[in-house]
Structure 1
Amino acid sequence: MSLPKETERLLADPAPGITAVPHDDNLRYFNVTIQGPDGCAFQGGTFKLELFLPEEYPMSPPKVRFLTKIYHPNIDKLGRICLDILKDKWSPALQIRTVLLSIQALLSAPNPDDPLATDVAKHYKENEKDAIRVSKEWTEKFAK
């Protein structure tokens, strides 16, 4: 699928709770927002991300990172995301929409066994209830 076609589909048929709008001056660069899914520590938050499509896209995955601070075992302080489809499980059949839905799903299901933020993962493993409390606090503080 060509870039403009995929972008048109994203704008015409956005995934629930997700917006992705290309920059006017660079159609490979998107401003993204993801709503924290209901029933998780990130519920009610609006998280800003940036998504960039490298020249090799769709043969290589988009580069995505959180701009909003978030307390999550799979997202580090720089906003980088540990997600298999952004690395070794990438396939050209996947699209921006799939990537963003996967990131939204990651908010609902943190995976401390495959961490990027090891301190947060440790907290989630040792005291999940308290880690979720901190995740909610950060959501209130940074994503509202």
Structure 2
Amino acid sequence: MALKLLSKQLHNVMNELENHPGFSAGPLEDDMLHWEASIMGPENSPYEGGQFDLRIDFTVDYPLKPPKVWFLTKIFHPNVEADGKICADFLVGHWKPSLSISYMLMAICSLMLSPNMDNPAVQEIADLYMKDKDEFEKRAREMTQTQAKARI
């Protein structure tokens, strides 16, 4: 079931992301359960100009169980652990089988613009964001420039 749905989703991703040039996604070689994706850092954010690569691993239980999604590119963000794991409700407890891959990528981009301070993965970064947003943005921008194939 998962492979058939992922084949359909691949077609949908190509069509949906055609209108969003900052996104891409597709399987690694011919393995439909393991995908790579990329997101361009959103404008008006400290990630602007950076290309952030992600990995998406699906299980044979997809879409009943969410995929595992993580950043391959290092990012300074309160909702992303040091190993790249994304702490987002829609990827864990609030997963819905109807969520598309395109939706997930756009939701991750939205999280880059507006971190979820109710559920930080890294408390130290969340505290910096809350107490000194300018310093947070400076550090996030610096990491983007050094880690995210920045085009700044």
TM range (shorter): over 0.9
Distance 1:3 1:21 in 2: 10
Q: Residues 8-53 of structure 1, C-alpha deviation per residue, up to 9 Å, x if partnerless?
A: 1112331611100211231111111001110111111100100011
Distance 2:98 2:37 in 1: 21
Which of the residues 7, 10, 28 maps onto 1:4?
7
User: Structure 1-normalised TM-score?
Assistant: 0.94
Matched AA of 2:28? H
2:48 is aligned with 1:40: no
Task: Give the aligned partner of residue 55 of structure 2.
Answer: 50
Which of the residues 91, 102, 107 maps onto 1:102?
107
2:99 is aligned with 1:129: no
What secondary structure does 1:28 align onto? Answer: strand
- Are the aligned partners of 1:70 and 1:138 in contact in 2 as well (CA < 8 Å)? yes
Distance 2:14 2:43 in 1: 23
What secondary structure does 2:119 align onto? Answer: coil
Q: Residues 59-99 of structure 1, C-alpha deviation per residue, up to 9 Å, x if partnerless?
A: 01111000100000000100011111101111111111111
Which of the residues 24, 29, 36 maps onto 2:29?
24
User: Structure 2-normalised TM-score?
Assistant: 0.90
Task: Give the aligned partner of residue 112 of structure 1.
Answer: 117
Task: Give the aligned partner of residue 82 of structure 2.
Answer: 77
Q: Which runs of 5+ in 1 are unaligned?
A: none
Task: Give the aligned partner of residue 97 of structure 2.
Answer: 92
Distance 2:92 2:16 in 1: 26
CA deviation after TM superposition for structure 1 residue 112, in Å: 2.8
Moved more, 54-63 or 109-118: 109-118
Cα RMSD (Å) of the superposition? 1.3
